[in-house]
Amino acid sequence: MARRTRAKYCACGCGGLCKDQWLPGHDQRLRAAIEHEVGGLIELRRIVEERLHRSIDPRQSRKKGGSLHRHQANIFADKQSHIHRRSS
């Protein structure tokens, strides 16, 4: 006997019904809307790093709990603060 899955509202807030968490492409729609709202991907990264109190290393994205070593984090923070000072 086939199990029926209960329809859920899409997590992006569009009001659409889906089988899982997202309608196709709506996760990217939400990501793009958030990036646009905060001023781009770099600004979003800065906000998240500030909230998490640590740097985000894209090379660690496939590993759970992948944080930078203290030395690498300091180098990254120095580069980021230099970029923010130049663009201000």
Q: What is the pLDDT of residues 43-54, one digit of tens each?
A: 999 999 999 999
Residue 35 domain flag? yes
Domain that residue 21 falls in: 8-87
CB 5 within 8 A of CB 17: no
Residue 65 domain flag? yes
Provide the pLDDT for residue 1: 64
Provide the pLDDT for residue 60: 83
Per-residue pLDDT of 62-86, as tens digits, reads 655 544 455 555 555 555 555 555 5
First to last CA, the chain: 63
Residue 25 domain flag? yes
Provide the pLDDT for residue 64: 56
Given a cut of 50, whether residue 88 has pLDDT beyond it is: no
In angstroms, rounded to a whole number, what is the distance separating the alpha carbons of residues 87 and 17?
A: 42
Residue 2 domain flag? no
